Amino acid sequence: MMDVRRWLVVGGDGLIGKRLVQEAQSADRIVLGSSRRNINGQPYVDLNTGDTDAALATAPEVVILCAAVTSIQKCRDEPEMSTRINVDQTVRLAAQFLQQGAFVIFLSSNTVFNGNVERPDEYAPLEPVTEYGAQKAKAEVALQALPGAEKRLAIVRLSKVIAPSEGLAVNFLRHFQAHQSCRAFDDLRMAPVSLRYVVDGLLALAFRRCPGVFHLSGRDELSYAEFARALARRVGVPSTLVETLSSQDAGVEVLFRPRFPALGMTRTHEVLGLAPEFLEQVIDTLFAT
Ligand SMILES: NC(=O)c1ccc[n+]([C@@H]2O[C@H](COP(=O)([O-])OP(=O)(O)OC[C@H]3O[C@@H](n4cnc5c(N)ncnc54)[C@H](OP(=O)(O)O)[C@@H]3O)[C@@H](O)[C@H]2O)c1
């Protein structure tokens, strides 16, 4: 009988987790995505209550930890609850998977840096300036100290992920398709990276099981308004449909305002052969069938 291996994505309902579960399925591998929704066939995991038995019972060979409180505002407003989920329970669960012999991949973020250093690479010192970034940094340090981590733990930091199904780009494109104007910040910068590129990078890592820190980042750094104008050009509508405004004028509180949102990928390039993704490639993935 064929030996069927199991992979587990913790946080299988999220933007990245959902796509990972779809893409990683194959004939000789079962990929499960955990949920908090009691869905048949999906192990129930709630990191707030620490209910993780169903996930541990799957005894996966690879675990990708995507579950987190991802709102920077929410982490600031509810530090105790978010620390429990993003740090304490995540580290506890990873420790148990490592003990079972699994290879564990933890998703982290460019917010572990302060945004003032150009293209910090995988070796750069951590200097978070938000509660969310501090939680990610704390989790990274605790995870790396776990028994087994040296050989079976990877940390993957991401820049801003752009998906064809939901979020920022979809919102801009909806306006353009209806020939309506959209509003975009000119004082907030990002380094967009496509969901496609991130999922492919994570899968490459899961197959090769290389431990250590990796970065998956967009190469180009631009404002949200510049990104919207690039999308407008791509779909052939006038870029005047993009109304620019500052986050301050919009009354939006921005807690992480990096001058340099892109990550350097020195080690990731050496180990996985991946280079930062160009803006053009990011936009192409939005229209790929
Ligand atoms: N997307 C980006 O641009 C980006 C950039 C940098 C880093 N990252 C990191 O990548 C990872 C995945 O991000 P994402 O964009 O896919 O996030 P997301 O769409 O917000 O999904 C987060 C996932 O975590 C789950 N979750 C939240 N609280 C939980 C809890 N108490 N117990 C169990 N599961 C819980 C959510 O489940 P529910 O659906 O039930 O809430 C959801 O499945 C995160 O660690 C994030 O920090 C993302």
The pLDDT tens digits of the residues spanning 124-141 come to: 999 999 999 999 999 999
* pLDDT computed for residue 206 by the predictor: 95
- Report the C-alpha gap between 241 and 176 in whole angstroms: 7
Ligand 1, closest atom to CA 36?
40
Which class does domain 5-162+192-219+263-277 fall in? alpha beta
Instruction: Give, using CA atoms, the residue closest to atom 21 of ligand 1.
Output: 14
pTM, whole model, 2 decimals? 0.97
Per-residue pLDDT averaged across 26-50, rounded? Answer: 90
Nearest protein CA to atom 24 of ligand 1, as residue: 67
Tens-digit pLDDT profile for residues 209-268: 999 999 999 999 999 999 999 999 999 999 999 999 999 999 999 999 999 999 999 999
Ligand 1 pocket, CB under 6 A:
11, 13-17, 36, 45-48, 66-70, 85, 107, 109, 158, 160-161
Which atom of ligand 1 lies closest to the CA of 162?
3
How many whole angstroms from 66 Cα to the centroid of ligand 1? 5
Tokens found for residue 76: 């600031």
Nearest CA to ligand 1 atom 2: 161
CA 27 to chain centre: 26
Task: List pLDDT tens digits, range 59-100.
Answer: 999 999 999 999 999 999 999 999 999 999 999 999 999 999
pLDDT grade for 187, boundaries at 50, 70 and 90 = very high
Say yes or no to pLDDT of 41 above 90: no
| Percent of residues in the chain assigned helix, strand, coil, to nearest 5 | 40, 20, 40
Q: How far is the CA of 189 from the centre of ligand 1 (A)?
A: 21
| CA dist., res. 49 & res. 230, Å (int) | 43
Output the six-digit token pair for 80: 């105790």
Interior CA angle at 5 toward 106 and 53, to 5°? 60
Q: What is the mean pLDDT of residues 161-182?
A: 96
Q: How far apart are the first and last CA of the chain?
A: 36
Separation of CA 35 and ligand 1 centre (Å): 11
- pLDDT single digits (tens) 114-123: 999 999 999 9
Compute the residue count for the chain: 289
φ, ψ at 145 (rounded to 5°): -90, -5
pLDDT at 3: 61
CA distance 176 to 30: 39
The values of phi and psi at residue 66, to 5°, are: -105, -15
Euclidean distance between CA atoms 144 and 162, whole angstroms = 28
Q: Is the pLDDT of residue 1 over 80?
A: no
Q: Which two tokens stand for residue 116?
A: 């003032």
Distance of alpha carbon 27 from alpha carbon 192, whole angstroms: 32
Contact yes or no for 17/162 (Cβ under 8 A): no
Is residue 103 within 8 A of residue 206, CB to CB? The reply is yes
Place of tokens 């999308």: 231
Enumerate the domain spans of the chain: 5-162+192-219+263-277
Higher pLDDT pick, 171 / 2: 171
Interval 275-280 mean pLDDT:
98
Which of the listed residues 15, 23, 75, 143 should we mutate to test ligand 1's pocket, taking the one with most ligand atoms within 8 A of CB? Answer: 15
Q: Residue 216 and residue 154: Cα distance in Å, rounded?
A: 13
Virtual torsion, Cα 88, 89, 95, 100, nearest 10 deg: 170
Closest ligand 1 atom to Cα of 161 = 3
